[in-house]
Every structure is written in structure tokens, then in C-alpha cells.
Structure 1
Amino acid sequence: MSGHEPRLLIYSQDGLGLGHMRRTTLLAREFLRRLPGASALTMSDSPLGQFFTTAPGHDYLKLPSIRKDGPGRWSAVSLSSSFQEVLRLRTEVIASTIASYDPHVLLVDHMPHGAMGELLPALRGLDGRRPRVVLGLRDIIDAPETVRRRWAAEGAYDALEEFYDEVLVYGSRDVYDVAAEYSWPAASAARLTYCGYVCAPAHHRARAVAGALWRRDEGPPRVLVLAGGGADAFPMFDAVLSSVPDVRAQTGAEFFLVTGPFMPERDVRELKRRALDLPATEVRRKIHGGGRVARADLVVSMAGYNTTGELLGAGTPALLVPRRGPSAEQRTRARLFAERGWVHRVDPDLLGPGSMSEAIVTGLTEPPRADTAPDLGGRAVAAIHLMAGIGAASTPALETLAT
């Protein structure tokens, strides 16, 4: 390993969502905060990646975008080339970047073998200049049988055994036991560390930003509706808008809907048109700044990892509406969190004006109650583990840094 500054390289296959980029960016920032003068480079195909890399020392390398059409099925997003040609290009760029950048730590997000095995040539070619290789996983990937089948077919289990020094799970074992659910080999399971949920730090402007949406005074309850990227969130917003008259009749609530940057423009226009006919209801594409959930009385949201983590961190009562598919990830998360009393949820198969109205009124009048709190320390714990082995002078003890 060269004598340059500490370097972290992140591979993040994000597709068309925001979740993986948001999470890996939080980890990169925490890594850089704890190692001043270090560098972090993220390889990803997210079209919004450059908007995440705002910390000094962090940069972004965009790969040609691909889309997952279903388990084991991918296609190119923008290029007219065949998927196989795009995959070959991505594979070569990944391998040359790892060799040229010469990182101390390689953090692979989500897929130990990369999309359709695109990481394997680079991992096999590490040899003498081998960085420490770490896999980072959100706790729930998909239904266990789906993950087992795809990982076995695509060689992910073999890659996990052969190439990885450590696996960081961004979650809690008592919520979801990754090794057991996904049938990990014993040797891989022994290298697994549960970090807790990775969340953004408390934002010092949270109150000010939230106050720009609503004044914090005595008045009607405030319902904030979020969708992350929003690409497939129209059914949730449709049900919310249809429920507004009934909810307002019972509670007088005000509604603020944030569609996300990836919702199709025609859907955004339709939602805004309908909102004009409803009192105290506003639709926006996005909100700038942090702390957007801090002042809501209830947040209605899809059940993506980052949004739910933000909700748990803010302590705002939440109603989760998981997507129907194709992945079982959000359904599983919403069910497990609701069972622990952290959130309310609506079954997406029963989604409609009546069920949504009832759930929103319940969320406003009967906040979730939990006996145990979620572990939200994942950002710090994961960053500390990424720093391990870079150098004793730069890496204080875990017990010292885990604050």
C-alpha cells in the first residue's frame, strides 16, 4: 500500500433510487470527519450522485447507469448499447479505478459480487496491493428465499467467502438476523458486525427549516408525506389526497406532500392539480435543508431504509406505506418496525382512501408506543470499523470514538 493519505473507496450500485447513495455518503462524511486529511471516492451510477458529495475530501465517479428490472434482470438506462456492452465498460472502469486510486479500504455496498458479477474481476486482481475489503449491508435486502436463490446463482456467497475481511450490517440482529435469514456460511457469519441503523446526525437548523413549512404554534395537526426518490410512490400520494376530506373533517389536519426527484413529471402535475381543490394541502417536488420531519405531528412515508431511519431518529410519529414490490424489503421492514411499536403501517394491498384515512387519524390520535428504542448508532460504529488497520496514529480505540 502506498504512503499516501488514508483513502476509502466505495462501490455503490444505486440504480435509480437515493437510498444507497444517501447511506454511503453519510459513512464517507463520518470517515472523513474522524480522519482529517483523508480522501473518499464513491463509484456509483446514481444520476444524483454529485449532489451528495459535499464534504471536503469526498468525490464521485459516475458509472454508466443500469436498471434492475427484476431478480437477476438488468438493462441500460441511458446508453443505447446492449446491457452486456455497458456491463463490460463498467467492469473495466471499476477495476482500473481500484488499481489507480489504491485505497486502504474498499467498501462494497449491498452486492458482494457487484451487479451481475461486475466486481469479481477487480477483486480477483487485487493480489499484492490488496486493500481491506468490507461489505456493507442494510439489514433487509429482500425476501430470504429470493436472496438465497440469487446469491447462489450469481456467486455472491463464494465472493463473500473469498474476498471479504469484514461485513458491516446497518441494523440490529434482534430485528433481523442477516446470517440466519440468508443462510450465510459459518465463516462469513463470523466476520459480521451489527452496527445499528445508519442515520444522519441531528441538524442544527432542523427547527428553522421545519419552521419554514409550518409555524410552531397552537393550531391544526400537521401531516408530512414523504417518498424518498418517489419513482413508484404515486399510489401512496393518490390515497393520501383521496383521504384528505375525511381526515380534515375529523382532525382539521394540514397536509404537505413531498414527491421526491424521481416521480414522473406527469404524476407530479396530477397531484398538484388535485391539491388545488383541497384546503390546507400543498404538493412540492422536494424540500431543501435538513430536519424536514422535526415539526410534523405525523409523517406518512414509504418504508425505505433512510427515510425510516430519519423518522426513528427524529422521534416523529410515523405511518409507513411499503411498496408492493418487486422486492419484499419495505414490506418486511414496515412489519418488523410496527411489531416493535416504533411505527404504524398500512398494508399496500389494502391501500385506498378508507384505509389511509383511518390510518392517518389513528396516527394523529394514537402515536406508536414502544418498549425498546432502536439502535441508531450505525453511522459512527461503521465508520470506526472502516478506519481499522489504516494506522494506529489515525485510528483511536473503538470505545473512544463511538460517541
Structure 2
Amino acid sequence: MSITVVLYSHDSVGLGHARRNRALAHALAADLPRLTGQPVRGLLIAGHPDATADSLPPGWDWLVLPGFTRTAEGYASRNLDVSNGRLTALRSSTAAAAIKAMSPDLFIADRHPFGVDEELLDSLKWLRSQGTRCVLGMREVLDSPAAARAEWDRIGGASAAAEFYHAVWVYGDPSVYNPITSGEIPAPLATRTRFTGYLSHGRPTDELSDSSVRAPRPYVLSMVGGGSDGGRLALAAAQARVPAGHRHIILTGPQMPPEDHSRVQKAVAASPDAAQIQVTRLAPHVPQLVREAAAVVSMAGYNSTAEIMATTTPALLVPRATRRAEQPRRARALAAVGAVDTLALEELSAKALSRWLVDAVTRRCDRDAVDLDGLTRIGALAAAELSLAPPVPARPDPAAARCAATPLSPPAAEARIESHVS
């Protein structure tokens, strides 16, 4: 006997969803065998090929769906030359085939209960018929309350999600930010919500290799998550003066547009501190880089923030101000409890970053007042869910399983595309 877990993330923009699930996979692999006496295996369904650069525990693997991406006209296929409807049908049937073949005991979806354009709905119906425990994982900040309500309405309300999900895990500390009291998580799901604490302490990190980013200490670090919309911050960081005696590492992210990355490189070449600045797109060991930095400048995405919070490194969050209100709300909440400093995007400049860096490298930051131990609780929460699963008949051999989903016709799927994924 073994426990099988499937985790899903849609990953149209950035890698935050997949990286949250990857952290959960490592926590489950570490704790569930001890708590249940059974080995654990799993599959992470993701939507961006860069997700697979992050390692998984033994017995786990990635399944990458053909991807959506954001364009000036809205969402479109990332690579395949197909319509949105055909892509949705392909993703839905692929995910359903994998889920039925794995026949999981526990299913965890990140952020969007039904995925892109309800691509998970057929799978969720099958999982319900099998008695599988289903969990909806949520970051602590969704959006402004009005935007969150509108998003719930587009999928039929929180009651529609409550038909399939037995529990909601919020990866945050309610004393810092509470999406229930703000109205971002409505009543039908609030009663089954558990706060885990931030997924900070115990985050997985890959070992250093010959290709790993290294810099002599002391150094300061600037990072912009996946980088798709981090060009302005990375450029200001490249133009900022490096504190005396330090180096500066700038992570532009694997998804930064080539023209933005080029501007950053040109700014570094023109800097009087060029010899002290190192620019790279990707580092597989960001938590260690943050921990050893003298100071860090970052956007305010969940995963970057969680990695920062696990350290005593002073941090300046410059939140993204477009698409969603998530990042400004997170930055304000953490600044209010003294965990970070924050700078509005409209106030961003090389001079402002230079001033902050000079001061920040002289101090450290105590974040012990914030609950950062979410990953230590995931195993127990999962074990509790599994204990509530009703007895079910022996499941068929996965090798003989067939896809239960009936893909939408391309016109029907295209008609249902919604612009709510991020």
C-alpha cells in the first residue's frame, strides 16, 4: 500500500503556483510516511516547462500541460498553433487521463478550483465518485475583495467549489492578513478553511552545482520572480549604486522578455559599479541566496516573499501594481507588522533603491512574530484529510485505466474561455 497525491497548478503567468505545490510535495514526502506508516508518491501537473527545473522527492514527477500565456489581446496558447478552445480541450483531457491513471488518494489544486475554463471539472467529478479527498490551496491574499467576489461569481460562486473540495488550506498567518474577514474567501468555503502559516521555513532548495550562481559575500540581491513583468524593477536595480564593499546579484527571471533583459544588461555595462554587478536569469537555490544576502529587493509575489520571510535578511518589496491588487495588499500587510519595507512602484527609482540598500546592509530583520511554519503542518493536515476518506472498493490497475473525461468541442470550449487566470 502507498499513498498517491496529485497536485495541480495552471501556471499561465509566472512559476509561483507550481513552486508552492513543489514545496508541498517535499513536505508531504518528508512527513506523511512517518504519520501514516505508508510510502508516498505523487504527480505535479503544471502548465509551464520551466517548472521542471525544480527537483522533486524520489517517487514524484512532473506532468507539464501545453501552456497558456498572457498577450496584449488576452490569453492565448503559449506555443501550439491552436485556438483557446482546442488548447482547453487538450489540457482537460490530458489532466483527466493522468489523474485517473494515478487514482490519487489526495488531490490538491492551487488557487483556481476548476483550473483554466473549467478544465478540471470532469476530473473533479471522477475524483468525487472515487471518494478522493480534494483540497484547494490558496495564497493568503487573493485580490481586492470586489475582484475576488467577481471571480467567484464567474465560476458559479464559492458554493460550486464547495461541492468538490473538502478543505481549503490558506498558506498564511491570519494575524497578518485574513482573507476570510476581508471577504476574499466566502462563507461556503470559510467553514472548511485552515490557516497553515506561511510556507517559509523548510522550503526545498537544490544543492549547489557548477552552474549555480555564486558571489563573494557580502552581496545584495535583487529578484523579480519569473520576470515577465519585472523589467522596471530590474532596470532600477541595475542603475542603483552598489553599497561599498558589496557585490550585487540581479535575477531577471526565466520569463523576462528579451528586450527587458537586454536593457538591464546595458544599464549594468554603463554603471560605474559594473564590475560589482552580476546579472543572471535563473538560480536554482534562491532561498540560500536570500539567506546569505546582506539585503534583498524583490517584487511581492507569494513565493519570493515566503523565501524572504524565512531569513533575517532586510527586504524591500516593490509590488506589482497591475492586473491584481494582490501584491500591494501583501506588501502593506507585512510592512504593518515590521517584517519588510515597501516602496510603491510609482516611487521606484535608482536613487530610492540606492538609499535603501546603503541603510539595509547595516542591519538584520527579526520576523519571529509571523507564523512561518506552514510546511511543518502540511503532513498532519494531509493525514487528517486521508483519515476522513470513506472506504472505497479496490481501484482498478492504473495501467488499465482510461480517461473518464469527455473533451469539449473546440467551439464550446472557446465560448467558455474566461480571463480570470493569473
The interval holding the TM-score normalised by the smaller chain is 0.7 to 0.9
SS of equivalent residue, structure 1 residue 373: coil
> What is the Cα deviation at residue 24 of structure 1?
0.4
> Which of 304, 312, 316 is the matching residue for 2:313?
316
Q: Check whether the contact 2:4–2:106 (CA below 8 A) recurs between aligned residues.
A: yes
Q: Check whether the contact 2:201–2:372 (CA below 8 A) recurs between aligned residues.
A: no
Residue 175 of structure 1 is matched in structure 2 by: 176
User: In the alignment, residue 281 of structure 1 is paired with which amino acid?
Assistant: I
Residues 323 and 277 of structure 1: CA distance in aligned 2, closer, same or farther (over 3 Å): same
User: In the alignment, residue 40 of structure 1 is paired with which amino acid?
Assistant: G
Residues 156 and 292 of structure 1: CA distance in aligned 2, closer, same or farther (over 3 Å): farther
Residue 6 in 1 paired to residue 3 in 2? yes
> Which of 241, 253, 258 is the matching residue for 2:251?
258
User: In the alignment, residue 64 of structure 2 is paired with which amino acid?
Assistant: K
| TM-score after normalising by structure 2 | 0.82
Q: Check whether the contact 1:31–1:387 (CA below 8 A) recurs between aligned residues.
A: no
Residue 124 of structure 1 is matched in structure 2 by: 125
> What is the Cα deviation at residue 109 of structure 1?
0.8
Partners of 2:369 and 2:208 in 1: CA distance: 23
> What is the Cα deviation at residue 99 of structure 1?
2.2
Residue 377 of structure 1 is matched in structure 2 by: 373
How many matched pairs? 378
Residue 409 of structure 2 is matched in structure 1 by: none
Residue 85 of structure 2 is matched in structure 1 by: 84
Residues 202 and 46 of structure 1: CA distance in aligned 2, closer, same or farther (over 3 Å): closer
Q: How does 1:151-300 map to 2 (within 5 A)?
A: 151-182=152-183, 184-199=185-200, 201=202, 213-216=214-217, 222-244=219-241, 248=243, 251=244, 253-278=246-271, 279=273, 280-289=276-285, 291-300=288-297
User: In the alignment, residue 249 of structure 2 is paired with which amino acid?
Assistant: F
Residues 19 and 10 of structure 1: CA distance in aligned 2, closer, same or farther (over 3 Å): same
Partners of 1:206 and 1:382 in 2: CA distance: 23
Residue 40 of structure 2 is matched in structure 1 by: 38
Q: How does 1:95-134 map to 2 (within 5 A)?
A: 95-134=96-135
Percent identical: 31
Partners of 2:157 and 2:201 in 1: CA distance: 29
User: In the alignment, residue 260 of structure 1 is paired with which amino acid?
Assistant: G
User: In the alignment, residue 377 of structure 2 is paired with which amino acid?
Assistant: V
Residue 138 of structure 1 is matched in structure 2 by: 139
Residues 182 and 90 of structure 1: CA distance in aligned 2, closer, same or farther (over 3 Å): farther
Residue 66 in 1 paired to residue 59 in 2? no
Q: How does 1:304-343 map to 2 (within 5 A)?
A: 304-343=301-340
Q: Check whether the contact 2:205–2:284 (CA below 8 A) recurs between aligned residues.
A: no
User: In the alignment, residue 262 of structure 2 is paired with which amino acid?
Assistant: R
Residues 288 and 201 of structure 1: CA distance in aligned 2, closer, same or farther (over 3 Å): same
After superposition, what is the alpha-carbon deviation per residue over 1:142-175, rounded to whole angstroms, capped at 9, x for unaligned?
2221111111122251332211111100001112
Partners of 1:69 and 1:381 in 2: CA distance: 38
Q: Which runs of 5+ in 1 are unaligned?
A: 393-403
Q: Check whether the contact 2:9–2:110 (CA below 8 A) recurs between aligned residues.
A: yes
Q: Check whether the contact 2:142–2:184 (CA below 8 A) recurs between aligned residues.
A: no
Residues 200 and 207 of structure 1: CA distance in aligned 2, closer, same or farther (over 3 Å): farther
Residues 183 and 299 of structure 1: CA distance in aligned 2, closer, same or farther (over 3 Å): closer
Residues 159 and 73 of structure 1: CA distance in aligned 2, closer, same or farther (over 3 Å): farther
> What is the Cα deviation at residue 38 of structure 1?
1.4
